[in-house]
Amino acid sequence: MSENQAEAAAKPGVPARKKDRTHWLYIAVITAVVLGVAVGLVAPEFAKSLKPLGDGFVNLIKMMIGPVIFCTIVLGIGSIAKAATVGKVGGLALVYFIAMSTFALAIGLVVGNFVHPGTGLKLTPYNPAAAGDVDPTVKFLMEIIPGSVPVLPVLFVALLVGFALQQMGPTAQPLIKGLTLVQGVVFRILTMIMWVAPIGAFGAIAAVVGSTGWAAVGAMFLLMAAFYLTCAVFIVGVLGTLLKVVTGVSILKLMKYLGREYLLIFSTSSSETALPRLIAKMEHAGVSKPVVGVTVPTGYSFNLDGTAIYLTMASLFVANAMGIQMSLGEQIGLLVFMIIASKGAAGVTGAGLATLAAGLQAHRADLLGGMGVIVGIDKFMSEARALTNFTGNAVATLLIGKWVGEIDLGQVNRVLSGDDRFDEATMLAHGEADLHEPTSVTAEPAVDGSTTDRLAGTGSSATR
């Protein structure tokens, strides 16, 4: 329970917020991974026969790639255009967000090529034609799931439609609202699919551990360790250096100031829970309300540094696990695709996996067969993604404030040194709705409890 929830619960007549249902999905996936590893080690032959469970789940994700990419890209263009109209702050923030996301994606590729996670797993995609003894029931169920549509043509059409709707101006609003409803249906289906993720993770992990033994466990731990270390280096080395050079502020002092928010994010695996607190704390630290009101909510949509690192490292993990080498050109193409697609990764459970699957299919469709393992370990990396995204937005707020001259560095130093402590009572008097009034940018809980930021008038959303 967060501090706000605890305080609300203490007030008579104010009910405490119930724990989100996806909390149990999170636990179920972790449990499924542990059971999958155990079955793979104890009964390897039986574990190998569970592979269709993981393949079936991956096929369900593939089925949703086209609709997810189309809806999020079209509506994401609307969000970008709306943010840019806020003025100098919005335009500068978008340029910074795109630059940092691109840099984070590139770092993920560099580390992935250096560490080579997943090498030696020898994963293979589901291929009923190559196995004559496939159970007829399994084959029947696998054939029920429709195939995916080509990703790059969908992306191209989505970009054209998005910019065309922008040129139509106010007359396009009915179409945008209609597409928003369609997006809601697509995400609801995706959420339904994610509830069978524990089954898919169990089958995929059991099969790969049954085939390779402890090597699979070591490869997964290598990816997770490399990802956590990369996120730490990115925060301290990249963001910390940039913050020190531009503002003279220490990243370690900033992180200490945001300590309670880090604990909240770590306990929920979602940076959404700390959004109103980040806005209040950045205002208290000396950044002007308009700058905070534009930068923080927009950053929750477009400044996803941790997610960017994850997307490229996970892609290389799958490629290495399947013994497929991606050329430099393919990796650069993947980076460019992820720059665009990650801006449309909406705050619904599974959208991140759909974005990852879209990138793999766009460049090497044969890599999709190895995504089942990622489903299992994805949850273990969600905390690092959320913490990195959150820190990136806190740093961005201070940087944008400095660049536009809307920051009191004296107040920043007093706050970070502990001379002017943040008053927790302001979180009660300063309601979440009020935090977003200055810029008509709001943040609301998405289907899975993560943050969905909506820029008023666009009907679009995107988040961590």
**11 lies in some domain:** no
**15 lies in some domain:** no
pLDDT at position 11, please? 44
What is the average pLDDT across 87-113? 87
pLDDT above 60 (res 133): no
- 8 A C-beta contact, residue 254 and residue 396: no
Q: Which of 30-39, 127-136, 209-218, 262-271 has the highest mean pLDDT?
A: 30-39
**5 lies in some domain:** no
Q: How many domains does the chain have?
A: 1
pLDDT above 50 (res 430): no
CA–CA gap between residue 363 and residue 109 (Å, rounded): 15
Q: What pLDDT band is residue 25 in, cutting at 50, 70 and 90?
A: confident
- Alpha helix (H) ranges present in 258-341? 259-268, 275-284, 289-302, 305-321, 328-341
pLDDT digits (tens, 9 = 90+) for 381-403: 888 888 998 999 999 999 999 99
Q: Which of 64, 94, 336, 87 is nearest to 182 (CA)?
A: 64
Cα angle 343, 195, 353 (rounded to 5 degrees) comes to 25
**387 lies in some domain:** yes
What is the average pLDDT across 320-333? 83
**1 lies in some domain:** no
What is the average pLDDT across 246-262? 93
Kind plus residue range of the DSSP H or E element containing 404: none
**256 lies in some domain:** yes
Cβ burial of 10 (10 Å; 0-12, 13-18, 19+) is exposed
DSSP 349-381: TTHHHHHHHHHHHHH-GGGGGGHHHHHHHHGGG
Ramachandran sector of residue 418 (left: φ over 0; alpha: ψ -120 to 50; beta: rest): left
Quote the mean pLDDT of the chain: 78
Q: Supply the CATH number for residue 260's domain.
A: 1.10.3860
**133 lies in some domain:** yes
pTM for this prediction: 0.75
Q: Which domain holds residue 217?
A: 22-462
**8 lies in some domain:** no
Cβ burial of 344 (10 Å; 0-12, 13-18, 19+) is buried
Are β-strands 441-445 and 451-455 bridged in parallel, bridged antiparallel, or unpaired? antiparallel
* 438 or 93, which is more confident: 93
